[in-house]
Structures are given as C-alpha cells and as structure tokens.
Amino acid sequence: MRLFACLLLSVLLGAFAQVSIEPEINDIFYGIPKDQSGKLISLERQQITIHSKASGFIVMGMKTTSEIAGGESPVRFRAGEPLEFVVRSPLAVSAADPNTIYGLRLLHAKKKKREIVFMTGHASPLGASTKADLSEGVLGLEFTKYGASSYKVTTPALKPGEYALGGATMPQVVYCFGVD
C-alpha cells in the first residue's frame, strides 16, 4: 500500500511540475517539447531592423520591410502538426485578449535574411499609390492559461517555412523557428 501511495504521489508531483515550469522573464517565447521532458526549448531571439528602399527614376517602386539576419533559424520543428509554446505575460492574470498582444508571422526567407513586407508602393508623374499591411503573414494562435503567470500558445498545423513569434504589431524583437 505504501508503494502504491508513493508511486501515486510521484506521478501527481510530476504532472504538477510539468505545468509549473514557466519562463522567468516576461514576453520571451519557449517551445514546449512533445516528449514531455519538462525542459523548455529556447527559440532563436532576433532583433528586427526596418529597411526601406526606393528604386527607379520617372517611375519609382518602394518597399518597406522588417528584416531578420540569417536565411533560416537553427531551431526546427516538424511540419503538419500543431506546435505548443509558452510565454510569461504580465497580462496572464487579467482578462485581456492575448491575440491583441502577441502574434505569429510567416517570414519570407531569402539567402541571408528573413523578412516581413509591411509596405509597397509606386510613384509616377501620373500619381502614386501605396499599400501598407501590418497584418502581412499573421497566423492565428490559440491561447490557454499555463501556470500562474503564463500562456500556452498553440499554433495550427504549420507548413514548411520560417516563422516568428512576437508582438502583434511592428515587433522589435522576435523569437524565430523553422518548420521542415
């Protein structure tokens, strides 16, 4: 009977420990491993730089992007299955909607950089037009409470590509990963 009680207690404490593992610092995303090892996966932290360029003489093209160094993230996950992340948030104890604070973006991968296009346009002697879209590449997320001060973030099944978790609008720092 004692052996059964000790085994039951260790299983219950193990299950509690899984949920109580939270990041120590706010707004940093970590992956939750599928193997239930209890150790969070550090994502690639990157600073975003804003680049604008215009080209042409009489007819000009314009483009503004947020760029991330490196063509692909060293942190990789498998395609075709939902992924789970955790983020500590000061808003986790409030009724605020985390979808207004955090977002997942699909990045356009180039050889030496990844980018998010925020504005395109053109100008000519006949007029000018611009298209600004701050929601470019934003994908839906599901948030649930995780521990005392965090959210568990669940993505839909993702296709192969490069992705970034961060602020919902014009993030300056993002947490990147790739899907193969």
7 vs 167, which has greater pLDDT?
Answer: 167
Segment 18-48, tens digit of pLDDT: 444 888 899 999 999 887 677 899 999 999 9
**Cα–Cα distance, 113 to 147 (Å, whole number):** 35
**Cα–Cα distance, 20 to 140 (Å, whole number):** 25
pTM: 0.79
Please compute the mean of the pLDDT values over residues 89-115 and round it to a whole number: 90
Segment 7-20, tens digit of pLDDT: 433 433 444 344 44
Q: Which residues contact 92 (CB under 8 A, 6 or more apart)?
A: 98, 145, 148, 149, 150, 151
- Please name which of 145, 139, 146 lies closest in space to residue 165, comparing C-alpha atoms: 139
Segment 121-133, tens digit of pLDDT: 888 888 888 887 7
